[in-house]
Chain A
Amino acid sequence: MFKAQVIIKRRHSILDPQGTAVEKGAKHLGLTNIKNTRIGKYIEFEILTDNLQEAEKEVNEYCQKLLSNPIMEDYEFSIFEIKKD
């Protein structure tokens, strides 16, 4: 069995008004060195197979077809084996 940890990032060419708004909070906190705040998503899940290649294929398909929208987002993931409980 494997576990995947996926990070979805908004493309740099696309404005992130949410990140900009959050960064205003940083200014109010007095954190003057914070710049270019951008908000993405973190998703983790398990894959019920012992075959790494198969697991990676499914993670890629999940990311491409559902978890991210390729028009506005990029994704990256790490995958590692876990022991069954």
Chain B
Amino acid sequence: MKPKFGIVVFPGSNCDHDAYYALKKILNYDAEFLWHKETDLKKCDVIVLPGGFSYGDYLRTGAIARFSPIMNSVIDFADKGGIVIGICNGFQILLEAGLLPGVMLKNISLKFVCKDVYLKIENRDTIFTNSIPADKKSIKIPVAHGEGNYFATDEQLQEILVNNQVVFRYSDSNGNINDSTNPNGSLMNIAGITNKKGNILGMMPHPERVCDPILGSTDGQYIFKSIFNNLIN
């Protein structure tokens, strides 16, 4: 079996080609684009909701994309245990669709943040992280967003913590977490979470941007390789 990655293209997506390039050209996986007006997921094994500014970020980030025709199929697919990864705007869409708990607020600085950050891997026992070498205290992946300030209600946060759904937190290179390593004001430095079942991941940092060695780091590959390895085993 060779797993196939489907990358959804919304009007305003702009990291769709980066995701395709990383998956197809660098990792040599099967990948294809899925137009948001379609409802057929074309037998893809993994759905990628890429970064960008779907529908111009009008109203709230991800709020309108969540009603695109393809999202009903994505929700069905996810409900049946299908693997979905939402990156940056894709994460925001997953939150708006109710597939992940919480919401994104504007960065506390009110500035768009575009820089490399370190992520502590809080949960290595997920299909998105279990190929990350055990000796890695953190992975280095860039963020690029204006609204990545993760917020959840007290009840939601409790549930997320109890179920071990926090996957990545903003840290320093040694995995230490404090306010100075928080680029956007996120609750508890949260950078990425899964759903309770563990088949959906949302993360603000962009792993697809650090897969090609020419770009200085290949830490992003760990996430896609984890997914791939879980599917072929």
Contact = CB atoms under 8 A, between A and B. Distances in A.
Contacts of B103: 69, 71-72
Interface string A4-36: 000000000011011001000000000000000
A61 to B, nearest CB: 13
A15 B156 CA distance: 18
Contacts, number: 30
Given A14-B105, A66-B59, A66-B67, A71 B153 contact: yes
Contact-size category for B: 10 to 19
Nearest to B107: A17
Interface of A: 14-15, 17-18, 21, 66-67, 69, 71-72
A68 to B, nearest CB: 9
Contacts of A14: 105, 151
B108 A17 contact: yes
Judged by DSSP, the binding face of B is: loop
A67 B60 CA distance: 9
Contacts of B27: none
A72 B105 contact: yes
B106 interface: yes
B229 to A, nearest CB: 34
B82 interface: no
29 contacts: A14-B105, A14-B151, A15-B105, A15-B108, A17-B106, A17-B108, A17-B109, A17-B110, A17-B185, A18-B106, A18-B110, A21-B110, A66-B59, A66-B63, A66-B64, A67-B59, A69-B60, A69-B63, A69-B96, A69-B103, A71-B102, A71-B103, A71-B151, A71-B152, A71-B153, A71-B156, A72-B103, A72-B105, A72-B151
Contacts of B185: 17
A66 B185 CA distance: 25
The 7 closest A-B pairs by CB, nearest first: A71-B103, A72-B103, A17-B110, A17-B108, A69-B103, A21-B110, A69-B60
A25 B103 CA distance: 28
Interface of B: 59-60, 63-64, 67, 96, 102-103, 105-106, 108-110, 151-153, 156, 185
A66 B108 CA distance: 24
Nearest to B154: A13
A69 B153 CA distance: 12
Contacts of B60: 69
B107 to A, nearest CB: 8
Contacts of B156: 71
B145 to A, nearest CB: 15
